[in-house]
Amino acid sequence: MGNEDNRRRKTPCGFCMSVFKWIPVLFITSVICWSYYAYVVELCIRNVENRVAMSFMLLFYHIALVLLLWSYWRTIMTSVGRVPDQWRIPDEEVTRLFRADNPETQKRILNNFARNLPVTNRTMNGSVRFCEKCKIIKPDRSHHCSVCSCCVLKMDHHCPWVNNCVNFYNYKFFVLFLGYALIYCLYVALTTLHDFVQFWKGQLNGGVGRFHILFLFFIAIMFAISLVSLFGYHIYLVLVNRTTLEAFRAPIFRVGGPDKNGYNLGRFANFCEVFGDDWQYWFLPIFTSRGDGLTYPTSTDQNGDIPAQRYDTMGQTTTSSFGDGISYPIRHLEEEDTESLLGYHSDTRIEMEEDFLPEPRFPDQIP
């Protein structure tokens, strides 16, 4: 399988890079370890005199910590999965594809190969999406990640803080991780607030330990502020059934063309698609997402024969027969991309080769 092959090919430089990529995870883990020492030892054991209060503080602290570490661990360790073999294009077809002298022939080869595959997404040219590196037809909502060197199902973004792609298999864990990290930070900040005030009044005893409590409060507030916006944004994305990448650029459908709400089935159904149908598992980092990661229910019927609109023909088309009448000219999408990328741009390494059909090549250039 192309996915596996790409990941196995590691040079010494590639090995150093893969070690380097663990640094952000190491940083987060170190902060959590230090916060454990500061909270449990310096605050609870050395500073809280009331035993009952201390027990309750430690109990709730450990519940939040276990849920945080559990969801963080699952986000990091969950594999990006693999695209099944039937999506892989045989070598002779790939050769034919690269030798084809015009885009229409290439488009026909791809469409013909994918005729029995459940794909509804298309490129700007109206062709079935193809990954040149993995040599596969891309399943709906999947993208090639250059960091992971493979096509990732329902790719959200590549996150350096978990050294993994946030994707179909770990999106629930990632959202829970953000939520529990926020709860952890708010809990630590609230329970250290009293000691923080005492410190500035000069009434906090405990030598160097006082500074651990002081920094613990600052760090908790700092992380809580950044987590509020990130967690809030991902809750919004869950409720509208959109990945971070789809929020930047609308997926293009075979029927109806580009549509940001193409997977929006209503808030509750969208929530259940990620968190599952059984409420008892909603808040635990146990995989309960609906589906197989390859196909997704759409808000519009994709079995009709109306071809998708192309981005470059939007301006000349009457919009009345498509969806809600909103047109999607290229300029509009580009503006949205640049505006909404903001903090996500740095950790989104997606290759956009899908928008273009492969350039015709000589036999010795074919990958």
Q: Given the rule CB under 5 A, which residues bind Zn ion?
A: 131, 133-134, 144-145, 147-148, 151, 158, 165
- Is 131 strand, coil or helix? strand
Contacts of 57 (CB under 8 A, 6+ apart): 43, 44, 48, 191
Nearer to Zn ion, 39 or 87 (CB): 87
Sequence-ordered strand ranges (E) for 127-234: 130-131, 136-137, 143-145, 150-152, 157-159, 164-166
Question: Min. distance of Cβ 135 from Zn ion in angstroms?
Answer: 8
- Shortest Cβ 160–Zn ion spacing (Å): 10
Closest contact distance (angstroms) between CB of 167 and Zn ion is 8
Nearest to 221 by CA among 246, 263, 262, 192: 192
Nearer to Zn ion, 53 or 77 (CB): 77
Residue 139 vs 276, nearer CB to Zn ion: 139
**Catalytic site residue 159?**
yes
Residue 91 CA neighbour count, 13 Å, CB half: 5
**Closest separation in Å from C-beta 315 to Zn ion:** 32
- Taking the complex as a whole, the smallest distance from the CB of residue 201 to Zn ion amounts, in Å, to 49
Q: How far is residue 286's CA from residue 298's CA, in Å, rounded to a whole number?
A: 25
Looking at beta carbons only, is 259 or 354 nearer to Zn ion?
354
Cβ closest to Zn ion, residue 47 vs residue 163: 163
Q: Phi-psi category of 141—alpha, beta or left, where left has phi over 0 and alpha has psi -120 to 50?
A: left
Task: Please identify which of the residues 159, 165, 185, 272 carries the catalytic annotation.
Answer: 159
The residues annotated as belonging to the active site are: 159
